[in-house]
Structures are given as C-alpha cells and as structure tokens.
Amino acid sequence: MSSSTVMLEIRIKSGGRYPFVPAVMTSNGRVKPFAAWVNGKEEPHKEGSYYIRWRENGKQPRQCVGKDPQLALTKMVRQEQILRSRAVGLAVQDGSNQEPGATVADAVAEYLADLRAKGRARKTIAAYTLALNRFMESSPAKRLAEVGRRDMMNFMTCCRDRFELSRRSIRNMVDLVTFFLAANGVAGLFSKGEKPKFTNKKPERYTADQLEALHSSSTPEEKLLWQFFAKTGMREREVACAQYSDINYTSKTKTIRVADKPAFAFHPKDSEERVIPIPDSLAKAIADRRQAATSKLIFPNVRNEPDGHFLKKLQRVAKEAGLDCRVFLHKFRVTFACNHHRSGVPARTIQAWLGHSDLETTLAYLAAEDMQDERIRELVNADDQVTKSGVQIVSKPPVHVASHKRAGPTRRSA
C-alpha cells in the first residue's frame, strides 16, 4: 500500500467473526453497495459497515465511515487527496468534522450497533454505552482524528474526581474505551504502566451460618432462589433466563442445562452450553413449583420476563438478617465450587460445571475453601506449640515422604 493509497473496506459477519474485507468497486470507480470480496469471491453483505484504511507515519489507521456506500467513497477520495497534499508539504484542513462518519459520536453509535449485531450481552452493551458516553463528556475531541493521550488522561481524572469511581472501575472504563478506539484505528495512547492499577479482590464464599441466616429471613420464594443460586453455581443472567424445561427431572442424576435463549437475547458466556448436576431436593422443589407456574421461566418478574433485581432482593434480605459480610450474587458461585471441592469433586469437573474457560479462575475460587479447611487451621494453630526458646513441641514426629526409602535400586524421575 503506497503512502497515498486509501483502501475501502467493509466489515462483515462471517462464520461468527467480523473481519474487515475489501469492498467491491465497479469498473468506473464506484462502490457496489454492500458487496464484499471474501476469499476471492464477491458476496452480498447488507449488514456491513464501511471503513477506510491508509498508511501514515508507519501505522495503518482504520476509520469508520458509516453504512452509506457513496459517503464512504467520498471519504476515501478525500483522504487520498489529504495524503497526497501532505506528501508534498502542503498543510491541509481535512474538514472531517463536517462528515458524520468521522465524528466520535457517530463512531460510538456505529460501534454499539456492531455490538448489538454480534449478539453481545445486554450488560456488556450497557457497560460500553456508559463508558463511551462518559468519555465523550470528558473529552473536547469531536473527531476520532483529534483523540490523543491527553484525552485519555482527562478521562481517567474525570472518572476519579467527578464520578468518584474505584480504581478497578476506572480501569474497566479505560479498557472499554481503548477497545473502541483500537477498533477505529486509534491506538498507542498509553505508555507501559500508565493504565490504572487496582488490587484484585480474593473470591469469597458464604458460610453455612450466613446461608442459614439468609434463609431464616427470606420468604419461601426467596429461599428457593438462594438455594438455586448456591446449588447450581449459575450466573445471574443464567438464573434469570432459566426455564423449567432446562431441567432433566427423569434421569438418575438430575441436571440443568445452560443453553441459548433467543427469546430473551441470552447466550451462554463463551458461547458454550453446559450441563450441571443438581440435588434431588432442588429438582423436586422446582418440579412442585412448576405445577402452579404461569411462566416458562422459573424465576420471572411480574411481567413474566427475566428478573433483573435479584441483587436488590438479596441485599434487602441480608440487611434484615443482620449479616455483616459483603453480599453479592457471584458469591454463590464460589460457595457452589467450594462445597463440591470439599466433597471431593475434581477441580476440572468443577471448572466445567461453572463454565470457566480457564482453570486458574476455578482454582482461585477453591482457595476460598482452603482458608476454611481444618488442615489449614491446624497448621496455623501449630504456632501455639512453639516455646519461647524457639523449640517446637509436637506430640508426634512429622512424617516426610522423602525420608522413606524404597527397597532395591532407585531411578531418577523423568
């Protein structure tokens, strides 16, 4: 690609991915509306959005120019003129603030539309919407080409001072804005270590006493809801969209399936279905509830839609129960993992039940159980057996596996 060449591309949906491919041009230099070159063949893609890409200062910026083919062509030609003029030392006002496809606001609208087209979760789109709106409030830049490092610094300051966000929330906001800018060819705004740092919180579980307190302050409906969370390990949205038909009531081991719910725009995280075993008691309670149900959903709201207020209900009940611990729904997932870990279920199996793509995440959950383990308690309390002279008093000598020699010749481990 020469320094003055601008490529017109169209971003399409293909096999679950959203690649940038060349737009089809006619012999007289016009754009063939919503036609794309895919693997050497022309294909129609009415869902596509147009982008221009060029080489400048060793980089290849990419800019969204909307869904109008003629506007996209006009922008491409104009950008070529700008590059040629700059190549011979002429100062050029590109006038892109006059063109809808180049403004930050239009790029944001286009990006959010792409997220919806990809079927991203409602909460994901809401998070992007909030972050990008706050970025536009804090930045004076009206065009993508004007966005620079100072805008990101101002955005972080605004998140901290104006919106009073935690360091973790600020980092989440910055990451979402960075993803948006990168998708529009704006990158390299941070030096190493400049992004906000935060302290990772350790996963927490509910103790048996805390669960008992919750249950005693709950209505029968609420108690069943907390049991469902704790005994399935499902995420909030998964529980909200759970249906009676998801449960296998007849198998020897009762199970619940987490699967697509197109009617509620729900898709499992990482697009992977999974099956979770549940206790017979929970399956029976749900089956009994089903007999008088008027909705396919197990826990619908008053409009027979997925309920989005589980956390508010939990916080109210926890306050009535006088719990002095942190209360949140995800804590039930850690409780589910720890209880099965204590029962001897392998970590890999728990990982599959939770739907984790990374085993490290599951192991972090299980660490919450290790802190409650009796063996850990014994090791910590062993310090009480150390005398002032530093001599440890033990009732039995410690047993070291390495001290037991095997009969016969030994071999080195591979």
List pLDDT tens digits, range 9-48.
Answer: 999 888 778 889 999 998 777 889 989 999 889 999 988 8
- The contacts of residue 209 (CB under 8 Å, 6+ apart) are none
Residue with tokens 């919180």: 201
Query: What is the torsion angle, in degrees rounded to the nearest 10, for the CA atoms of residue 357, residue 360, residue 363 and residue 364?
Result: -110
pLDDT category at 231 given cuts 50, 70, 90 is very high
* 8 A C-beta contact, residue 169 and residue 159: yes
User: Is the pLDDT reported for residue 76 higher than 80?
Assistant: yes
Res 340 pLDDT > 90? yes
Which pLDDT score, from 0 to 100, does residue 346 have?
A: 95
Residue range 102-157, pLDDT digits in tens: 588 888 888 888 888 777 778 888 999 999 999 988 888 778 888 888 999 999 99
- Which domains can be identified in the chain, with CATH numbers? 6-99 (no CATH), 108-183 (1.10.150), 208-370 (1.10.443.10)
CA distances to 31, 116, 189, 328 from 125, rounded to whole Å, are 31, 7, 23, 22
Assess whether pLDDT exceeds 80 at residue 371.
no
Closest by Cα among 27, 169, 28, 46 to 36: 46
Whether 97 has a pLDDT exceeding 80, the answer reads: no
Residue 40 CB burial class (10 angstroms; 0-12, 13-18, ≥19): exposed
d(CA 309, CA 315): 10
pLDDT band with cut points at 50, 70 and 90 for residue 404: very low
Task: Extract the tokens encoding 253.
Answer: 């081991």
pLDDT value at residue 356? 93
Q: Which two tokens stand for residue 20?
A: 């940038």
- Mean pLDDT (the chain, rounded): 84
- For residue 220, name the pLDDT band (cuts at 50, 70, 90): very high
Token pair 């085993």 is found at: 359
When pLDDT is cut at 50, 70 and 90, the band that residue 377 belongs to is low
Tokens representing 135 are: 């970025």
- How confident is the model over 70-98, as a mean pLDDT? 71
Confidence of residue 380 (pLDDT cuts 50, 70, 90): low
Per residue in 262-302, pLDDT tens?
888 888 887 789 999 999 999 999 999 999 999 999 999 99
Condensed to tens digits (0 to 9), the pLDDT of residues 199-213 reads: 888 889 999 999 999
